[in-house]
Structure 1
Amino acid sequence: MAGVRLITSRSLQHLWILALQQRPLTSLTMMHLLKFLFCLTVACGAVSLTEAAVDCSGGDGFKCESCSTLALCSGGSVASTFPCQSGELCEEGSSGTGSCMLVSASRTQCQCSSYPSYVVDSYDPQNYLLCFSSTLQIPLSCAPGEEFDTVTSTCAAVPTTSTVTTTEVTTTTEPTVTCTEDGIFPLLPSCSGYYGCYTVGGSVVSTGIVSCSESTPVFNPDTLACEASISGPATPTCASDDIVTADTVECNAFYVCNSGATVGEKICCGEGQVFNPATVNCEADTGSVTCPTVNPCYTGEIEKKCLPPTC
């Protein structure tokens, strides 16, 4: 089947080059062109895009594998891939994070903007579009080891590059997880892995569970990476001009500062009060002060016993 698709792609590509060069097409040539179009769009079905190598060296998270495919990077390699929905294309923002977005808000490199023309997949140059009209845009793929050359408008061998060795990440779909918002979350209570959630077509979809390795067995939600171990809460620190600083564990406690360092033991607020760093004062707990949150994957002991002062 792959051989048939390659012949069809190259033959249609040759005929299309003639059209782009504005050379006259004979009736026989036009008949072949229409025959290929019928095969691609009706008889043979849509031509699928092949998978591309995704650069996961930048860390875990979502990347665009192609204009139509979202990939989840984990441990330096692709753990899972997800096709974008109809009417969406994959887009990487300024931070490099990929997501499926509506066509009107996506990269122009992934869409036909003029006719007739070619458009190369901006994430995977092995794939390209034949742009006949606003209603006829056919996705095609070069043969393995080739990519589309916009100069010659043909598939050509991919330049030789150094081989990068990646570590395979074991994934599992059990136990089942439930997504309510986008993000990457630890698998609780074990923290032996994590799962991603992203919105597609108005619904939040789970990527399934990605397990951490033996050398880095615990997932740290603060760094969004599997690590050998997780350290405890940070020690309270003072800026050079601070008078007091909030405790990093207890919401109703603070420390006195002097020349950029804490002085003495922590001080507790009165009953029903919390320390407000904005006002540098203990005040009634109305819910307006955000209390410190302890890393749920930290297994060490955390002491919370700041009691109100007694006379």
Structure 2
Amino acid sequence: MSRTDESRAAARARRKADRIRESHADDLPRSLQPSMAVRVVTVAALTIVLIYFLFPIYWAIIASTKTPSQMTSGNGMWFSVGLADLPGAVAANYAKLLGWTRGQFWRWVLNSLLYSGISALIGTLVAVMAGYATAKFDFRGRNAAIAVIMGCMLMPAALLTIPQYSIFHAMHLTNTMLSIIIPCCVSPFGFFLGRVYAQTSVPDELIEAAHIDGAGEARIFFTIVLRILAPAMVTIFLFLFVATWNNFLLPLMMISSDSLKPVTLGLYGMVSLATFTDRGALMMGALLGVLPVIILFLGLQRYWQAGLAAGAVKG
């Protein structure tokens, strides 16, 4: 073998070794690696959890294609019609859903998107601002304010519903979108997350350097702090969005007009009708009503995972 061939073979061996090192760069040391039994148990447990969470969606898809008689007869785990007839069954239940809701189903979904989206956007900004202020500024009454807000986390939401209704009724804001958006913008839990993330993710040295460069507090917050806390803000946004989307008692107390109902309250009104018996149409509405939340989680999953770990490491 010539010297040129030897050098080429050595270069290929080095490249192969580099690829192997790169592929195993994040591996744990051999002493810390889990045993085969632990891996099998972990995979089995995660598979069971995955089935547990996906099974309701699977069953809703199956049930949304059935008529009332098919819901109580036949195999509940599979379609009651052939695959070729599925589009017709889906179209029939969709038409029944629009009929039972008097064509307002998608209006209810849009209302839920508006309530949840606006409340989550405003609530996230308020939570991050309040959390950053109490984490990085020392002012009189700070500890008392933190204690009051954290104490609000212990109060059940149902306890506040009647006082909220009395206040909004006195302000002539009942049966309006503001009666849903304003209460949902304030979240003690969002404040708690914002404060934890600000304490652990925003270094004091960075703020001091910005002060030395002549930046004001508003500029520091909106141009520096918000960028650092962007992944954490996604986590807070998702929590507030889902909480508002699933909120049922507040709309039940505040909203009386069909055109302003969220999808949860609208479907509840449909089921409450004395003549309602079509559970297939109900499952169709429940499945379509949860799709925006699923799409939102899938779209923001990467940022949400980063936000969950944002407060776990200091600096």
Identify, as 1 or 2, the structure richer in strand: 1
Q: Per chain length, whose mean CA-contact separation is higher, i.e. which structure has more relative contact order (CA < 8 Å, sep 6+)?
A: 2
